[in-house]
Structure 1
């Protein structure tokens, strides 16, 4: 090859690299500008939130490509387990359900010889997440509360759709209630808790134990729900609408709808129908619509008046959206009565904010002792972000106040 050809080839390659570099830089700048401009107003620590949002958007895109290429759900490998020198951490099986048991040193007092217990159900839209990924958070809960915490590895959708994840959590809870003494736990001091989809599962388990299994097991001491997903009836609540406008840091509306559908029937052709509330359009005057009444969020909005003559007729593949063990907000008023002491946390920049507020209001109306804690500048998932590189003061505050509630009420 002549020197001229070599020169031209070299300059061509350099030019291509230069243009690729410039295009990459421009693309990154545009992407960063989009992320920043669409951040919810007044979100906590916006620079950090921007980084988290960019990371999450990249992850969701890669997961989407992974699934479209036929490789199935992309589930990240969990990090190595944290070191818990003050805890005894044991792998176990509760009637076939894998769990991790976190047991702090026994602290006998003059009035109590046994410890409190807690079942923890992890988040992840019923599709991702694991007890290994939540090892650090659950270990902190056990250390801060002095309770024996059982982290439950329920099977995941869409391979295992509703009711399997719910039934796994129920099975593990029933087993722990029956065998609490084997772990040094007082069976009358056991609660259930979880975040996001895990909050859904905790609420569903509490409903089931309060209704169908009331005489078979000791009553739960409490339920603690962290930004829970509680209904698949109305995807046009104010917090969902706001999420469409400002694109939340972690959980966009359509992603949450995809999670609900994977948990329900895995029919992705329903995403747009659910997003526009087309799946429940015929039920606007039903009693189920009154369970997600906008009046719970804003008292200036008139209360809905259900029409008892409305026909409740849904296709078989979506009828479970009215099942309270799938959507706890669909529980009848009478079934909410008698539920245990309840703690609900919601974040102002989270599309699930209104789910938690409505549930807390309905529980209060049913005579349940409820503590609703709001974090106006927080966003979904922030309670897990209490250490570097994703450290947020609001997350640390939530983590501490959550542990304080559990320690004081278990």
Structure 2
């Protein structure tokens, strides 16, 4: 029944889309497929909001459940035989559920690479068991002969900042302990932390914390951040302006995710659009995300900074929402001395993504602090493309980006 309703709703959405067709940027290929994916996502969210209106629970919880049903149907249609190459287990690291992928190959006793992976989803969606994340972890583990630990941290609406951060930090410290690394046959000199979108946010924050923690005898060797979200003070960077209405992730959705994560009043959304929430931030902090100096001219284009002066209510926003200035939530605000201790980095961004400039500015700040950085910006890329490598929503740019990511880890870890 649910599948039938979803199919009908998607068909109606596609019909409306056809009538109101607005082309995507010319650089993006396979546009019809991207439109269809966006229609499916939006339809699931609309159905979930109807369920919430009917008193059937929070719309995010309903969205998760509907997505699982749809994903289960796709999995039945595409399931293949288990090659037996990997041992996959669900365990708990210091109270935090994780899924572990271990290669089952000859040469036992030889130490392997290790990777702590943190999934995205706006701190509200996603799971290591989701199809894209599960398959991605399997491919990473197989292609790099690597032990992958995927963290199942708590999500909104059940949890807010700093709970997801603390979950991931606890899992990271547990994994990095010499005893646990030895148990899974991981080389303590070759352990990475990585994540996409909100997972990139958590990965960057944890990389900073571990780098500064003198009690940790083992630290991350590298960090690999996939279109990370790194700050909530400027929602009018050039990429936010350029891609404000982009499919998959637009500016409105990203502001909503931030407000939810930080426990802010959702009615403040319009003020955040106008940057009124950052009008009282100290200049030295704002300089750490000043895109007029941190971005290359080709990304600044002719865009102008937006410095909104908000109503009296917004003058207290930094006290009411302290997470706005907390580096555990906004890693781009970290001091240069902290960045200087961070591991070398791979930072992937997409030209047609509101988060592009967050990643580019972080790459610049890390580089200025003396950290070796490989920054890769995909001119035909869009948000979430890194996870879109499987039928029926495999995109050329996603396949290419995933291959480049694996290649960098092979050469640097």
Residues 1:32 and 2:18 are matched in the alignment: yes
* Matching residue of 2:220: 220
Pair 126,28 (structure 1): closer, same or farther in 2 beyond 3 Å: closer
Aligned pairs, number: 373
Match of 1:127 among 124, 127, 131: 124
TM-score by length of 2: 0.84
1: CA distance between counterparts of 2:91 and 2:344?
28
1: CA distance between counterparts of 2:270 and 2:52?
19
* Matching residue of 1:142: 141
- If you compute each CA radius of gyration, which structure gives the higher value, 1 or 2? 1
* Matching residue of 2:261: 263
Match of 1:375 among 367, 373, 378: 378
Cα deviation 1:187-243 (Å, max 9, x = unaligned): 2211100111000010010011112x2332312110000111111110001111112
2: CA distance between counterparts of 1:190 and 1:219?
8
SS, match of residue 371 in structure 1: strand
For residue 41 of structure 1, report the CA deviation from its aligned partner.
3.8
For residue 296 of structure 1, report the CA deviation from its aligned partner.
1.6
Pair 26,363 (structure 1): closer, same or farther in 2 beyond 3 Å: closer
Match of 2:328 among 299, 303, 325: 325
Residues 1:65 and 2:50 are matched in the alignment: yes
TM-score by length of 1: 0.85
For residue 91 of structure 1, report the CA deviation from its aligned partner.
1.1
SS, match of residue 261 in structure 2: helix
CA contact (8 A) 1:126 1:259 kept: yes
1: CA distance between counterparts of 2:84 and 2:46?
38
CA contact (8 A) 1:265 1:317 kept: no
For residue 299 of structure 1, report the CA deviation from its aligned partner.
4.4
CA contact (8 A) 1:44 1:378 kept: no
Pair 223,28 (structure 1): closer, same or farther in 2 beyond 3 Å: closer
Q: Which moves more between the two structures, 215-224 or 67-76?
A: 67-76
2: CA distance between counterparts of 1:27 and 1:405?
39
* Matching residue of 1:157: 156
SS, match of residue 316 in structure 1: helix
Pair 28,154 (structure 1): closer, same or farther in 2 beyond 3 Å: closer
Listed as ranges, the gaps of 5+ residues in structure 2 are 1-9, 306-314
Match of 2:401 among 394, 398, 401: 398
SS, match of residue 142 in structure 2: helix
Q: Which moves more between the two structures, 55-64 or 261-270?
A: 55-64
2: CA distance between counterparts of 1:27 and 1:186?
50
